[in-house]
């Protein structure tokens, strides 16, 4: 009994030390966590290529090239659209300022007196000169990067660390797994290995379900935005659908782009309201129906548990909490299943 208590204290102390270390290192762990997620997603394809006698390093390079190509393709869809829409916005903004002066200035003068002045011509020249001198979106971005200093450099270093860490994790994946397996206490080894295999199966189901959600929501946004008459329905719908794997990011990005496009295209505000309705309905459908149905059922989570997991992990851990909410919930689900089985077979439960 004393030995078991000593062992329990040792493991508890070890867990506390690891948790404290993770907390202290949390500012630099983000790129490694992201790289680990991407490596886990890409590892099955690397394993398949390696099984066909392809060198593992070459397989990793091919898979990562395809992964980065998809990311670059997404940027190629977004950036030209964003450049064009912002250019149109800045070009038309002076006309809106003049219209606002015509309709709004008399009311303001009526409420606050005639001391209010509105120099539309000076405001137009100011906006246009700043836009032209900045050289478009690229010029503004470079100026912003230059003024950001060390913070921006830190962000860029973290972004560059992700593919580097991902490459080494994928290349050495089997060896890392074998080392972790070797460190597991032998009397727990069979049970922990059983749990790990089940967790891996559940996470694989999660990824398949998430891909189905992305495809279904892409079709929804493209189709419904096209029916609403939006000119850029195809690229905006694809971007909004593909980004739903990060909760709220797809909706926010798609809504921003669609609102900008609608303001440029439709003569009245009713067109913008239709676009907002499309994304509002899409968020409800994705959060309340599609994700619980395609993801929750695959990992064995009740739809209410999926919604609660998104809210709870987002509240506790912020952005990465949202990203990891469902996978962590799936892991916790597997652990609780085995804990329940142990409890039902224990003397604590069976004794009268």
Q: What is the pLDDT of residues 34-43, one digit of tens each?
A: 788 788 888 8
Q: Are 94 and 124 a contacting pair, CB within 8 Å? A: yes
Better-scored residue on pLDDT, 187 or 299: 187
Backbone φ and ψ for 116, nearest 5 degrees, come out as -75, 130
* Within a domain: 123: no
Q: Where among 183, 201, 220 does a domain terminate?
A: 183
Query: Is 248 strand, coil or helix?
Result: coil
Per-residue burial over 309-330, b = 16 or more CB atoms within 10 Å of its CB, e = otherwise? bbeebbeeeeebbbbbbbbebb
Same domain for 178 and 190, yes or no, is: no
Cα–Cα dist 68/217, whole Å: 22
Same domain for 202 and 173, yes or no, is: no
Cα–Cα dist 60/167, whole Å: 7
Residue range 27-60, pLDDT digits in tens: 677 778 778 878 888 888 899 998 888 899 999 9
Cα–Cα dist 222/234, whole Å: 5
Q: Are 328 and 202 a contacting pair, CB within 8 Å? A: no
Task: Write out the two tokens for 153.
Answer: 């450099």
Same domain for 280 and 336, yes or no, is: yes
Residue with tokens 């990793």: 60
Same domain for 333 and 193, yes or no, is: yes
Reported residue count of the chain is 352
- Find which of 4-8, 100-104, 152-156, 157-161 is predicted with most confidence, using mean pLDDT: 157-161
Q: Are 70 and 180 a contacting pair, CB within 8 Å? A: no
Q: Are 222 and 238 a contacting pair, CB within 8 Å? A: yes
Same domain for 199 and 138, yes or no, is: no
Same domain for 233 and 272, yes or no, is: yes
* Within a domain: 5: no
At residue 296 the predicted structure's pLDDT band, cuts being 50, 70 and 90, is low
Same domain for 261 and 334, yes or no, is: yes
Cα–Cα dist 121/135, whole Å: 22
* Within a domain: 251: yes
Same domain for 35 and 76, yes or no, is: yes
Same domain for 221 and 332, yes or no, is: yes
Same domain for 171 and 206, yes or no, is: no
* Within a domain: 121: no
Structural domain for 205, as ranges: 186-352
Report if pTM > 0.75. Answer: no
Task: Write out the two tokens for 271.
Answer: 């067109």
* Within a domain: 18: no
Same domain for 39 and 68, yes or no, is: yes
Task: Write out the two tokens for 352.
Answer: 């009268």
Better-scored residue on pLDDT, 140 or 328: 328
> CA angle at residue 248 from 326 to 334, to 5 degrees?
0
The runs of H, that is alpha helices, within the chain are 2-51, 56-112, 120-134, 136-148, 150-171, 173-183, 186-227, 233-242, 249-265, 269-285, 291, 297-299, 303-344, 347-350
Q: Where among 150, 183, 216 does a domain terminate?
A: 183
Same domain for 69 and 191, yes or no, is: no
Residue range 198-252, pLDDT digits in tens: 888 877 777 778 888 888 988 999 899 888 888 778 878 888 888 777 666 777 8
pLDDT for 82 equals 66
pLDDT for 58 equals 92
pLDDT for 138 equals 47
Domain total in the chain: 2
* Within a domain: 112: no
In this prediction, residues 127-138 reach a mean pLDDT of 50
* Within a domain: 60: yes
Could you report how far apart the first and last alpha carbons of the chain are, in Å?
Answer: 23
Does residue 118 carry a pLDDT above 60?
Answer: no
Backbone φ and ψ for 266, nearest 5 degrees, come out as -90, 140
* Within a domain: 347: yes
Q: Where among 117, 152, 183 does a domain terminate?
A: 183
Q: Are 199 and 331 a contacting pair, CB within 8 Å? A: yes
Residue range 164-182, pLDDT digits in tens: 888 999 999 888 888 888 8
């Amino acid at each position: 009994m004393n030995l078991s208590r000593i062992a329990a204290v040792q493991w508890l102390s070890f867990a506390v030390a690891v948790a404290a270390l993770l907390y202290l290192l949390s500012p630099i762990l983000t790129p490694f966590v992201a790289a680990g997620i991407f490596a886990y997603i890409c590892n099955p394809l690397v394993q398949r290529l390696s099984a066909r006698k392809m060198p593992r390093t070459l397989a990793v390079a091919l898979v990562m090239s395809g992964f980065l190509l998809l990311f670059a393709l997404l940027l190629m869809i977004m950036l030209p659209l964003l450049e064009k829409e912002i250019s149109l916005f800045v070009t038309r903004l002076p006309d809106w300022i003049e219209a606002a002066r015509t309709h709004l200035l008399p009311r303001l003068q009526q409420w606050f007196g005639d001391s209010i002045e509105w120099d539309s011509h000076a405001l137009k020249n100011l906006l246009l000169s700043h836009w032209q001198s900045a050289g478009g979106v690229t010029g503004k971005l470079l100026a912003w990067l230059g003024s950001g200093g060390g913070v921006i450099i830190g962000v860029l270093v973290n972004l560059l660390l992700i593919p580097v860490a991902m490459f080494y994790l994928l290349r050495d994946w089997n060896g890392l797994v074998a080392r972790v397996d070797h460190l597991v206490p032998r009397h727990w080894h069979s049970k922990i290995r059983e749990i790990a295999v089940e967790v891996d199966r559940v996470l694989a189901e999660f990824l398949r379900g998430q891909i189905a959600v992305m495809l279904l929501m892409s079709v929804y946004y493209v189709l419904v935005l096209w029916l609403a008459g939006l000119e850029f329905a195809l690229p905006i719908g694809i971007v909004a659908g593909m980004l739903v794997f990060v909760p709220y990011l797809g909706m926010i990005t798609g809504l921003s782009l669609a609102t900008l496009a609608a303001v440029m295209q439709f003569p009245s505000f009713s067109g913008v309201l239709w676009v907002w309705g499309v994304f509002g309905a899409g968020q409800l459908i994705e959060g309340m129906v599609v994700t619980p149905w395609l993801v929750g059922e695959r990992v064995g989570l009740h739809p209410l548990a999926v919604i609660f997991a998104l809210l709870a992990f987002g509240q506790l851990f912020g952005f990465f909490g949202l990203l990891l909410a469902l996978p962590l919930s799936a892991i916790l689900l597997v652990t609780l299943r085995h804990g329940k089985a142990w409890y039902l077979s224990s003397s604590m439960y069976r004794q009268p």
